[in-house]
Amino acid sequence: MLSLAQGDAKVTARMDARQITVGDQARYFIEVQHNPSISKINWPVFTDTFDHLEIVEKGEIDTLKQGGMITYRQRLLITGFDSGVFKIPSFQFAIVPTTSNPYVIQTDSFQLLVQTVTVDTTKDFKPIKGIIFVQSTWRDYIWYIAGGLLLLIIVIAVTVYIVKNRKPAPPAPMAPEVPLQDRFLKKLTDLETQQLWQKNQVKTYYVELTDIVRNYVEERFNTPAMELTTDELLFKVQHHRELQPYYEQLSVILRIADLAKFAKGQPLPQEHFDAMEKAKQFIDSSRPKITITETPTEQK
């Protein structure tokens, strides 16, 4: 286990095994602790392979709040299919303080021994045994035959009953028109229930989230958004009379999404929540204002 700290942030890394057999897995644990009131952490993007080793599973980033500190934990499953001693590199975490210059903390590197399976070459190979055939008769299938016939009779009887007693279906009532905001809020709720970022599908989560937001901008404000870059869209928002009040909300959503979609960084769990909540707030708060004009009563 190794723990490195600088300022208020500390990173700890450990492994549950330093040697494995070819194809087995070793667990690698990372723990980062910092004070969120004075700094922000940029989680690194782990490559899938390095030095003949592979990361076969990346666990969720767990969050633990205690006092004024936040601890993030993640587990990686590492395997190897070549024998030898291989190096797990150090991983760097960018720390961005609120009142000073950014700095980097990193884990130490580890060595992992991957061994082949020991084979006793002094013993002969055992021969392959032949196939053993078991005789069967029609009596072995009597209950299957009886069950099939009974099921067929039941299906025919039910079908005849339904056909004879079928009534014409009443005309379907006209469904009320769903407001635009409610339609898009449902899309956000459906995306939330898929739990994509919890399943490590972070890029897919942000692609779908930004598509929902951009489509809403096009339908609600009649402003092209799907084919624009983030900077182009935010420029339009800043100079659009109705959209300008939502500039900060849209900027946070789109900037966090760009980090994930273009592998510039890995947003933290709280940022996933924040992006979804700001998208909901933007859509819900941009409902058209209904103005009621009162007719003055005549004086008697």
Mean pLDDT of 119-142: 74
Mean pLDDT of 54-70: 92
Decide if 156 is inside a domain: no
Mean pLDDT of 142-153: 86
Residue 114 has pLDDT above 90, yes or no: yes
Decide if 136 is inside a domain: no
- What confidence tens digit (pLDDT) does each residue in 187-235 have? 999 999 999 998 989 899 999 999 999 999 999 999 888 999 999 999 9
Can you give the pLDDT at residue 294? 58
Can you give the pLDDT at residue 2? 44
Mean pLDDT of 273-277: 90
Decide if 170 is inside a domain: no
Q: Considering 63, 84, 115, which residue would you say is the last residue of a domain? A: 115
Q: Considering 98, 115, 132, which residue would you say is the last residue of a domain? A: 115
Are 109 and 211 contained in the same domain? no
Per-residue 3-state assignment (H helix, E strand, C coil) for 116-172 = CCCCCCCCCCCCCCCCCCCCCCHHHHHHHHHHHHHHHHHHHHHHHHHHHCCCCCCCC
Q: How confident is the model at residue 16 (pLDDT cuts 50, 70, 90)?
A: very high
Decide if 124 is inside a domain: no
Decide if 162 is inside a domain: no
Per the structure, the complete domain to which residue 81 belongs is given by 2-115
Give me the phi and psi of 183, to 5 degrees please.
-60, -45
Q: How confident is the model at residue 7 (pLDDT cuts 50, 70, 90)?
A: low
Mean pLDDT of 170-185: 82
Decide if 139 is inside a domain: no
- CATH number of domain containing 66: 2.60.40.10
Decide if 110 is inside a domain: yes
Number of domains in the chain: 2
Closest CA to 28 of 72, 58, 64, 71: 58
